[in-house]
Amino acid sequence: MDFNILVINPGAGSTRVALFESEKSLFEENIRHSPEELLKFPKVIDQHQFRKDKIMELLKSKEIDLKSLSAVVGRGGPFKPLISGTYFVNDKLIKDIKSGNYQSEHPSLLGAMIAKEIADTLDINAYFVDPVSVDEFWELSRFSGLKEIKRKALSHALNVRMVAKRAAQELGKPYEECNFVIIHLGTGITIASLLKGKQVDSSNANEDGPFSPQRTGVLPTMGLVKLCFSGKYQLSDMRKKLNRQGGMLSYLGTDDIQEIENRIRQGDKEAESVYNAMVYQIAKETGAYAIVLKGEIDAVIITGGIAHSKRFVDGLKAWIGFLCKKFYVYPGEGEMEALALGVLRVLRKEEEVKEYE
């Protein structure tokens, strides 16, 4: 039996929408949102109706019969810490999102809200799968160096697990027996250690790790403190500066990797220095997460949008190539497919659905 699954994935500058007939993707569209459009909304949660309207316009233009849907799935956001799996979007989750009971602001919070609103009109279930807040950290991973602050397990868990399962299949080993270091290269960057299928440690793209196209990553602490108390910035200003206006965007005025590579080819030395520094920081962080596995690594996996760049991947491998013999590069990310397959396993009764509590 086939199931029609609508997939909704809100990201920093776009909302991706797809329709799957079981494993088969019938269409996938990326609705772009300009910075000017999104900056009109003081908080991410305020973008909810704007993004939903864009989705409904797209579905109408595609002449999608909503009554044919079996389920709707939205990307899971930085909710409270949860184990991996597929969950119902229930009233408790919606209440937590609306009341601000989550770990950080990210557009992925909107996925579950929009999915449930559409599903409720059709009397079908809404789901989310492997949210940003999947937490399998061991205790060592939670220490920050300051008692009042605990490290959070917030990562690109959905794509990390998708590519890890793909690599395990290629290796011919059970996923639960594999050790991987996974590098997700996107607007934000996650570097994760998977030990026997469990994500025991990872960087948090909003708070630590290397700088990325839009985010600062970890910063010199006293410099950051002085900036915060300079009188120039409010809390909201600093959030934007760290997570939406940092990294490559801060140095070069753009977060577009292709544009930066074109500048380098045209002899722009500043662009080359910033580009190489980001590669260098990612490489150093990868070394740290290899240490978590004590060097017992089945493979290093490179994924995410930036993995489409051969120049970037080759530059990274030049630093980390000694870590292990196996490298897998999966450009882009499999989030839409991962969301659909997570729901499909539940609909086919191959996996037990979880309840958000």
Q: Long-range contact list for 231-236, CB < 8 A, 24+ apart? A: 236/42
- Regarding whether 123 and 191 lie in a shared domain, the answer is no
| pLDDT at position 336 | 95
Considering its fold, how many domains does the chain have in total? Answer: 2
Distance CA 35, CA 187 (A): 14
Determine the Cα–Cα distance for residues 253 and 255; give it in Å rounded to an integer. Answer: 7
Q: Which residue in the block uniquely carries the two structure tokens 């493979």?
A: 299
Residue 56 falls within a domain, yes or no? yes
Q: Are 303 and 173 part of one and the same domain? A: yes
36, pLDDT greater than 90: no
Looking at this protein, which amino acid is placed at residue 125? N
Phi, psi of 258 (to 5 degrees): -60, -40
Place of tokens 């199931």: 3
User: In Å, how far are 18, 196, 285 from 193, measured between CA atoms?
Assistant: 30, 10, 11
What are 309-350's pLDDT values in tens digits?
Answer: 999 999 999 999 999 999 999 999 889 999 999 999 999 999
Does residue 222 sit in the same domain as residue 170? yes
Same domain, 279 and 324: yes
Percentage of residues of the chain with pLDDT beyond 70: 100
User: Quick check: is 142 in a domain?
Assistant: no
Name the residue range of residue 163's domain.
157-331
Give the mean pLDDT of 198-206. Answer: 95
pLDDT at 281 over 90: yes
Residues 282 and 340 in one domain: no
The confidence score (pLDDT) of residue 104 equals 85
Q: What pLDDT score was predicted for residue 244? A: 84
220 and 184, same domain (yes or no) = yes
Taking alpha carbons only, the member of 249, 247, 138, 251 closest to residue 194 is 138
**pLDDT greater than 80 at residue 130:** yes
Q: Is residue 32 part of a domain?
A: yes
Q: What tokens were used for 262?
A: 């074109």
Contact 191, 184 (CB under 8 A): yes
